[in-house]
Amino acid sequence: MRTRLVAGNWKMHGSRRANASLLDALLGGLAKRGAQPAGSACAVCVPYPYLEQMAARLAGSPIAWGAQNVSEHASGAFTGEVSAAMLAEFGCRYAIVGHSERRQLFGERDAQIAAKYAAAQASGLTPILCVGETLEAREAGLTEPVVAAQLDAVVATAGAASFARAVIAYEPVWAIGTGRTASAQQAQAVHAFLRARLAKQDAAVAQGVRILYGGSVKAANAAAIFAMPDVDGGLIGGASLVAEEFLAIIAAAQGQPAST
């Protein structure tokens, strides 16, 4: 049975004081709800400067932590880059790779993203591989070819078996931070396609890989999206910065009421 995961992506938000307040509220809310049901997990992926704060505050807690990016290089003259080994030293479990903002704003291409994925795994991190299409691609009927190419680039570099130690996140670009959300059925269709695509290479790995949905997920729509058979949780942007919203989304993934 696949483990559901709700991972927050803080993007370029936060301060030490605001982070502390948010983490206290999250940990308090989880403690009030009691032990997490088996088969569920939650995490926050934060800006690099706050990894030490996460390691200090979240160690031994139900919340894992990770980074929003990682270098494809192990070390060297790459000013401004952060290696997977550095992230692992801060106790990171996850590293997001291939987020649409990295692809669009910073020009990252499939080959570079595949290399980042491989570098993360080489240091023991679990990559969260983001794939997704633009509105133009969807309207042109190109959703499946686009996400297939993004997935295939990683399979070609790291192999299908590597997804036993990875997470996929389907994030339609047109639904990220726009207030628009793919319907539960639209999300399910792409998740099912991705799983079937991977199954052509390794059926067992495809059945076990977690595929998250990301794109304006909120407490109000989380339960319907997570009810889809191939949706295994969410990669949450803005709502992960609001404790009540994030806790409600975690509860939806766990099949619990939003509050107790």
**Nearest of 27, 19, 72 to residue 46 by alpha carbon:** 19
* 144 tagged catalytic: no
Bridge partner list, 127 = 95
Q: How far is CA 245 from CA 19, 53, 180, 220, 221, in A?
A: 15, 22, 17, 9, 11
- The sign of the torsion formed by the CA atoms of 136, 138, 141, 142 equals positive
Which candidate in 72, 171, 191, 245 is catalytic?
171
Compute the distance between CA of residue 126 and CA of residue 155 in angstroms, rounded to an integer: 15
- Please count the other Cβ atoms lying within 10 Å of the Cβ belonging to residue 184: 17
Compute the distance between CA of residue 127 and CA of residue 43 in angstroms, rounded to an integer: 13
* 171 tagged catalytic: yes
Compute the distance between CA of residue 108 and CA of residue 135 in angstroms, rounded to an integer: 19
* CA torsion angle 52 55 58 64 (round to 10): 110
Which candidate in 72, 99, 133, 191 is catalytic?
99
DSSP 8-state secondary structure symbol assigned to residue 212: E
Q: Looking at the annotation, which residues are catalytic?
A: 99, 171
